[in-house]
Amino acid sequence: MKTGVCVFLAAFVSLGASWCGFVLAPVLQLGGAKQTVILQTTDNWPLQRTGDATLGLQVYRANGCAACHTEQVRQTGMANEVTLTGLGIRKPEDFSAFAKSLFVLPELASYTNAIAASLNGWNGALPKTLFITGDNDLASAMADRLKAAGVKSETRLVATGADIARGWGLRQSVAADYLYDQPVQLGSLRAGPDLANIGVRVPDANLQMNHLYAPKSVAPNSTMPSFKFLFEVRQKINGAASPDALNLPKEFAAADGFEIVPKPEAKQLAAYLLSLKANVPLYEAPFTPAK
Ligand code: HEC
């Protein structure tokens, strides 16, 4: 009987401790999360999704999109990006020659080659990113050199990391981004691209619906399954297509006299996808937005 009490207490303490770790601590940390403000503005973040988009989250969930897609951008650090924005009286050719002369500054030596290489074949189009460095002093040394040479440059704070480099977002995802999502569809497997910022990347609802109906009509080698059942194939009324009928390439389109129209679920899902945006700087995930 004595051991019974010990076993009970041991089980109680270990379950209680894990409950504190997995339930209580996150609630204390994030349970009171509120809207925050977008950096250097008075705008709130995030805003409640529209009605359609809120319903779309449930369609996303019901169709298991999160089995193949994540909605979380990771970041490894921050860096300064030095961009050329104006050449003054210099010509693009002179600027390339000038960039090579940067060799004389020892602290810039390792960057000079990279800059010279990126200027190879540059047609003079501005703005032109010269280099990205995590070293603030180096970035300001470079900006000083550019200023002395009579050209204009801008130094921006940017997030770095593989997801950012893939173009999946401008900064890491933070808890505030999901404030109004119930349940949050973070996902853990990336058979397809991350969708945290898809509303900025592909802001066209019709294209989203074409892709859901026939992924190969948008991405020829796509392995994404088709979600045809979110659409209805029906006969055209008096031979005329309805306004929301999909406009698909010939090989994916319906037979003559028929049209493919989205069911409400498809429209809601597209509205949800368009509402997935994480393109503003926040206190806990800052960056300098491009002008
Ligand atoms: C079996 C895995 C799988 C499932 C399930 C899946 N997808 Fe995909 N998805 C992919 C793959 C692979 C791609 C990349 C090829 C392409 O663009 O079609 C992709 C691409 C996408 C894109 C384009 C991304 C971009 O960067 O252009 C969107 C949007 C998308 N999926 C949304 C959805 C939605 C919404 C659902 C649920 C209804 C879903 N996916 C379900 C695998 C999947």
Closest atom of ligand 1 to CA, residue 272? 35
167: Cβ below 6 Å to ligand 1? no
222: Cβ below 6 Å to ligand 1? yes
224: Cβ below 6 Å to ligand 1? yes
Q: Which two tokens stand for residue 11?
A: 């089980």
- Closest CA to ligand 1's atom 24: 193
Neighbours of 286 (CB within 10 A): 13
Alpha-carbon span 132 to 78, nearest angstrom: 10
Distances (CA, A) of 263 to 227, 236, 246, 260, 270: 11, 15, 11, 10, 11
186: Cβ below 6 Å to ligand 1? no
213: Cβ below 6 Å to ligand 1? no
CA of 193 to the centre of ligand 1 (A): 7
Ligand 1 pocket check: which of 63, 65, 69 to mutate, most ligand atoms within 8 Å of Cβ? 69
- Closest CA to ligand 1's atom 13: 192
215: Cβ below 6 Å to ligand 1? yes
Q: What pLDDT, on the 0 to 100 scale, is given for residue 103? A: 67
Residues whose CB falls within 8 Å of the CB of residue 112, separated by 6 or more in sequence, listed in order: 99, 100, 102, 103
Closest atom of ligand 1 to CA, residue 208? 29
CA of 279 to the centre of ligand 1 (A): 20
Q: What pLDDT, on the 0 to 100 scale, is given for residue 265? A: 97
202: Cβ below 6 Å to ligand 1? yes
Closest atom of ligand 1 to CA, residue 221? 15
Q: Can you say whether the dihedral through the CA atoms of 151, 154, 160, 165 is positive or negative?
A: negative
- Closest CA to ligand 1's atom 17: 219
Q: What pLDDT, on the 0 to 100 scale, is given for residue 231? A: 97
Asked if residues 187 and 218 have their Cβ atoms less than 8 Å apart, the reply is no
- Closest CA to ligand 1's atom 34: 65
Mean pLDDT by 10-residue block, N- to C-terminus, for the chain (291 residues)? 89 97 93 91 94 97 97 95 86 79 73 79 84 86 84 91 94 93 94 96 96 96 96 93 93 94 97 95 91 72
